[in-house]
């Protein structure tokens, strides 16, 4: 095939003409359809929805008004049912949402009348509200238990240096020991201390001067690390050692890890003069099966 432009005529000179193979290469059609072609291939856009909308959410069936799904403009549901996007239907003509529908009823109840789920479903409904980007529901759920308490707990844990890293270390050490010993459980020692220095009534008045007024022959500040696997602390907050232990067990349990702990004494390492470390030591038992 010879392509002729509006200005140049084909002559007998082979150098002036484009070969058939060259022309086909230059005007070769794309292997995939362009956006315009794709738009022409989808005549279902924009989609029209009935006033009463039947839904299939992960195999669970719901029926609601279109205005309910569009209650808040900045949500995923409002965008999905705005008509700008194509929503597939199942064999019965229900609009299909590929999402677990267990808590979708709670989502609809909030969109309908502002109802909030019972406490035992708050966390799960919160995750669904995040997926559907329902800001008003997220705000309401964050102000009730247990999410309200979780915000306070996270504020406390924010004071804890390397808290998440220490949790990971506990898991890794316990997994390694159980694997090496072919055991069902593993034990490790964990130190949890709130104060950086001993604070018994006898030691407290003297220890500050001992720490910060060292002689020139001892220029380094006093430092001590208990002989344990992981140490948590110190921190400055009203929450005490038992509160942090509760957080550790709660967060490990949330990851499916069975853990027991008990205090097995204190660190008796000699510090200086008549001072000894009195930080509490806990034995953690991680059961793997």
Domain ranges of the chain: 52-144, 158-198+224-287
The confidence score (pLDDT) of residue 30 equals 44
- Are the C-beta atoms of residues 284 and 190 closer than 8 Å to each other? yes
The residue-averaged pLDDT of 18-36 equals 45
| Mean confidence (pLDDT) of the chain | 81
pLDDT in tens, 131-188: 999 999 999 999 999 999 999 999 999 988 899 999 999 999 999 999 999 999 999 9
Yes or no: domain 52-144 corresponds to CATH 3.90.650.10: no
What is residue 102's predicted lDDT score, i.e. its pLDDT? 97
Residues 6+ apart with CB under 8 A from 158: none
pLDDT at 26: 46
Which tokens sit at 55?
Answer: 């839904």
Measured in degrees and rounded to the nearest 5, phi and psi for residue 151 equal -65, -40
Read off the pLDDT of residues 201-218 as tens digits, 9 standing for 90 and up. Answer: 444 444 443 343 445 554
* Contact (Cβ atoms closer than 8 angstroms) between residue 125 and residue 103: yes
Does residue 113 surpass a pLDDT of 70? yes
Confidence of residue 272 (pLDDT cuts 50, 70, 90): low
């Amino acid at each position: 095939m010879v392509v002729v432009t509006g200005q140049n005529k084909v002559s007998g000179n082979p150098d002036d003409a484009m070969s058939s193979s060259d022309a086909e290469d230059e005007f070769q059609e794309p292997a995939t359809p362009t956006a315009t072609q794709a738009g022409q291939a989808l005549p279902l856009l924009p989609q029209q929805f009935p006033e009463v909308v039947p839904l299939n959410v992960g195999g669970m069936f719901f029926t609601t008004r279109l205005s309910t799904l569009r209650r808040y403009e900045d949500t995923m549901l409002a965008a999905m049912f705005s008509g700008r996007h194509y929503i597939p239907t199942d064999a019965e003509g229900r609009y299909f949402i590929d999402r677990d529908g267990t808590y979708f009823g709670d989502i609809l109840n909030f969109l309908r009348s502002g109802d909030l789920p019972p406490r035992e479903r708050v966390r799960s409904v919160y995750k669904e509200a995040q997926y559907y980007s329902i800001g008003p529901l997220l705000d309401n759920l964050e102000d009730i238990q247990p999410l309200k308490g979780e915000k306070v707990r996270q504020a406390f844990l924010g004071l804890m240096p390397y808290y998440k890293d220490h949790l990971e270390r506990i898991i890794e050490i316990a997994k390694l020991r159980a694997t090496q010993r072919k055991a069902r459980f593993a034990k490790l020692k964990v130190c949890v201390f709130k104060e950086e220095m001993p604070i018994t009534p006898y030691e407290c008045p003297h220890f500050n001067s001992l720490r910060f007024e060292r002689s020139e022959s001892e220029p380094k500040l006093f430092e001590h690390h208990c002989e344990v696997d992981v140490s948590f602390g110190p921190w400055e907050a009203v929450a005490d050692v038992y509160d942090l232990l509760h957080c550790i067990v709660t967060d490990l349990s949330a990851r499916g890890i069975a853990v027991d702990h008990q205090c097995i004494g204190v660190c008796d390492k000699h510090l200086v003069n008549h001072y000894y470390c009195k930080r509490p030591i806990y034995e953690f038992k991680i059961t793997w099966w």
